Structure 1
Amino acid sequence: MSDSDTLSEALQEKARAELGEKVEWRERDIQALRDLVKADLELYCPHEDDAFLLMFLRARKFDYDSAAKLIHRYFEVRVEYEDFYKGFRPSMAKSLYEKGLYVRLPRIKETDPQPVLTRVGNWDVETHTMEEVLRGNIIQIEKLIRIKENQVTGVVLLMDLNGITWSHAKQANPFLAKRIMSIIQHAMPCRVKGMHYINVPHFFDYVFGIAKQFMTEKLRNRIHTHVTPETLKDHFDLEMLPDFLGGKYDIEPIAKEWAQEMLDSEQDFVAREKYGIRKVDAVSSNQGNSADAAGGITGTFKKLNVD
């Protein structure tokens, strides 16, 4: 595999400098990870898909063992949090996307992290729970990390809290916070380069305090809070921001475009549902058969203890 012709020279240089990625070593690196994944008898995944493996290599800076463990965790968490991942597709959050809750913002420089905005104030607590809103965000991040440019640059998450009330905030709880932080930090091939909370209300410390205890020190150091959008200019080019955050453009056309792009990617998510974790005893009794006649996983899922 070689995507050097689709990654620009600037991104190739960024990948080399920050991730230790070298185009001339790519086949060797992918094969090394493939061998580790194939040796994991509990795991049924698309190990013949070079792009899939490369995504995890980039997320772990080409450390083979760490990338292999991340792949295992990526599928393992779908068993551990089975209720969260049931029907894990864009259609699950269709109404949230159509309300413009999530928006992929324009990237000014190709080597900058991909900015993504969540307009939390667009969340109607009468129709959706906090878990549903967070799941919709995880689904969009899942789509974003399948784009090779984003694997190199990482993503930066902006949360506009304008309009949220205590009715929104009181749904936060340690169980949900631990689950989301566990997924983002330890079960997705995602490099979060920053998290910016904008228009923070007076009760923000309550919500953030719950989540903060489950963040790694690395992520905590990448958190920024903004009482007003005014301080965003210290971090971002104003051309990247919509008018209500100090920029100049109307966000609604972009929001509609991103919502449609998310919904159009439904089958990409469906295709990955056949992969997962299986019991070793089921594997050993079905050597050579990675899937049943229907294309699903042979054997039973391994159930894990949830803290």
Structure 2
Amino acid sequence: MVRILEKYQSKSITPVDDYECTLSDELIKAAKDLLGETSEIRDKCLTEFREWIWNNPRIEKCRMDSKFLLRFLRINRFSMQHAKECFERYLILREGIYGCDWFTNLDLNRSGLQEVLNDGLYVVLPTKAVTGETIVLVRCEASNPSHKDAGNIAFCVSTLVMETVFEEEENQIRGYRLILDMSKVKLSHYFMFSFSTWFRILKHVERTFTGRHISCSIMGLNPATRFISNLIIKNMREKMRRVVSCLSGPQELDFLDTKYLPIDLGGEYTIEQLMEPLKKTLDSWKDLFLRYSEMKINRKYYTDAVLKCDSGTLHHTLENKSAKLLTMYPDENENN
């Protein structure tokens, strides 16, 4: 097996490993019940996934370690067709939004990033939901829209934090819950990107997100931000809309003990206390994060619309020849 895995290494930025299951019996059962995962299905799909990446000329470099690939297999319940599409769109999105470097510059020391981290834009709460999921709190006020690079930094922090959350196999299986605190958000926060860029990002993130989104609780909307948020929710896929709820405040969060929230939301923790473990986790990942910029697609294979992440391209799969999303196919290589 080791010799077979070595074949893929030249295309991977991480060691290509033979998956070793360290899940508890409870998680093994949950994975089977929720995702249809068994050891036989998992091993078969990992092998097929790697072979597809290896033979796909559109993908030049990526992560091919088991835990990373399982994120795409699990979120798509081991449907290879959907996992492959999700994976390739993931790579395109993070290289394809022009003017944005929130995936290709995951440097923890980049200007302004530590300030946003310290202010607690993203917080992983030190408790689980009553049903067992990890809880991520997004304090939208912590992103300063007056900063010249505010949008990129905010999405960079989002990528850094959520990559670490999804790396945990328990989170891949059980899913996670998101809380958005919008109580101090101003209209200027929405103008960190153009609305067309926001729309492209959000529509693609819907398709490439590798976390099982159990719930999204939005708190503190004022009339102006409620209008915009409702417009965004209206344009979400039905699957995403079903998990979104708008709450008046933290007292309506019935899936956790609110004492674990920050003090300004009625909890007992300072932002510094909440951020300390997350910052240690991010620091332990810093070398790999810097290597994310090495993940590359071969841009010549895609149309401009795909590379610009136009939302209309999501209506078809990349392999649908009639949709004309690719400029050439593998069987045409020898002629190009």
| Structure 1 length-normalised TM | 0.81
Residue 27 (structure 1) shift: 1.7
Residue 130 (structure 1) shift: 4.2
The 5 A counterparts of 1:110-259 are 112-127=132-147, 129-169=150-190, 171=192, 173-232=194-253, 234-238=254-258, 240-259=260-279
Matched, 1:304 2:304: yes
Q: Percent of counterpart pairs with the same letter?
A: 22
Contact 2:62 2:294 in 1 (8 A): no
Paired amino acid for 1:29: C
Q: Matched residues in 2 for 1:89 and 1:111: separation? A: 34
- From the superposition, tell whether residues 109 and 64 of structure 1 become closer, same or farther in structure 2 (CA, over 3 Å): same
Equivalent pairs counted in the alignment come to 285
Residue 74 (structure 1) shift: 1.3
The 5 A counterparts of 1:86-105 are 86-92=104-110, 93-105=113-125
Q: Matched residues in 1 for 2:212 and 2:54: separation? A: 25
Matched, 1:23 2:39: yes
Q: Matched residues in 1 for 2:118 and 2:190: separation? A: 22
Residue 20 (structure 1) shift: 0.9
Provide Cα deviations, 1:150-195, integer angstroms capped at 9, x if missing partner.
Answer: 1112222211123233443555753233133134211232222221
Q: Matched residues in 2 for 1:58 and 1:45: separation? A: 22
Provide Cα deviations, 1:124-169, integer angstroms capped at 9, x if missing partner.
Answer: 3333534532442233212221222211122222111232334435
* SS of aligned partner of 1:225: strand
Q: What is the root-mean-square deviation of aligned Cα atoms in Å? A: 2.7
Q: Matched residues in 2 for 1:270 and 1:104: separation? A: 22
The 5 A counterparts of 1:62-73 are 62-73=78-89
Contact 1:89 1:139 in 2 (8 A): no
* SS of aligned partner of 2:180: strand
Paired amino acid for 1:73: R
Which stretches of structure 1, 4 residues or longer, exceed 6 Å deviation after superposition?
none
- From the superposition, tell whether residues 271 and 84 of structure 1 become closer, same or farther in structure 2 (CA, over 3 Å): same
Gaps of 5+ in 1: 280-299
Q: Matched residues in 2 for 1:133 and 1:196: separation? A: 19
Aligned to 2:3: none
